[in-house]
Amino acid sequence: MTRTWRTAAEAPDAPVSAYFSAANWGKTSQVLDLRTDAGRAALHGLAAGADIVLASYKPGDAEKLGADYVTLSTLNPQLLYGAITGYGPAHARAGYDAVLQAETGFMHLNAAGPGQPPQKMPVALIDLLTAHHLKEALLLALYQRERTGRGALLEVSLHDSALASLANQGTSWLVTGHEPQPMGSGHPSIVPYGTVYTAADGTRLLLAVGSDGQFRQLCAVLERSAWAADARFSTNPARVAHRPELEELLRQRIEELSGAELLAELEKRAVPAGAVRAVGEALSQPAARAMLLPPTAGFPHPGLRTVAFRSSTWPVAAALPGPPALGNDSPPGPDFA
């Protein structure tokens, strides 16, 4: 479906949407009708020679189509089968990123502040986190297979991946029983961390001060060293307790200064801070060049790498074919439309 999900800025007749291209560079596309014998035979032929099969069916659907782990592992005992569901194999309910964001606390926490409406995150973060959880499972299973020669069924759900990713917000409730409250971009345990300020030149910048030493350096840059000696602000617990007072002082001082000069001085002093950039600004930075994929003959637009690591011992190839047209690599015949 993402092939047809377009923004208003995209051409309505574009064969590949920007959304689809985000996840499908370097892939081939075969369309198989698994309701037919020929379609299932084609799938089984692919699975017989595959290292990994990924499936995203509601529980029970893969079995109806002959695409389940039991069927495919009979053909290929070394097969690693990664299964993604919404809520686990015992629940037939389909999973959707936005729904899971609502149900697992993320939308509540992402509100602009207490009493403000819950907000969905602007990317399908639960989908992405689930993919990374499955990737970790598959890497472990590959390592195990090297030692045992056996394949495995790896199952992950959007629901469990979301809960596992609540991190400190989840354990805060488990440890204290206190319901974490939405704080906009602020941090519940560290101040000033995450709050956005506006400088005199209109630059919006974020501070991520994680230690008392960094706070002292911030005060020195702002020419407000007395703040670091103030009992209300000298330690992080004190700053958390007096968050509103400190954030108002910071707001007033920063709006008197040049954002560019302030950011440069903070970097010299090793105080974590950064300018708030739009997506286009971020992708236009020199540091972003290594993350871009060049246009191809079939897709005349740059792509965005989804693999961010580098290796000193082997290259991570950047030259990939563009996202495929639907069914571009299907075998000929009526069962491969």
- 329 as an active site residue: the answer is no
Is the CB of residue 3 less than 8 Å from the CB of residue 310? no
CA distance 139 to 160: 19
Indicate the length of the chain as a whole number. 337
DSSP code at position 288: G
Contacts of 194 (CB under 8 A, 6+ apart): 183, 184, 185, 186, 187, 206, 207, 208
Catalytic residue among 68, 97, 127, 335: 127
| Residue 58 to residue 56: CA distance in whole angstroms | 7
Q: Exposure pattern of 195-216 as b/e (b: 16+ CB <10 Å)?
A: bebebeeebebbbebbeeebbb
Q: Which spans in the chain are helix H?
A: 18-21, 37-48, 61-64, 69-75, 97-103, 106-109, 125-148, 158-164, 167-176, 212-221, 226-229, 236-241, 243-254, 259-268, 279-283
Whether 192 contacts 244, CB under 8 Å: no
> Which residues participate in catalysis according to the annotation?
127
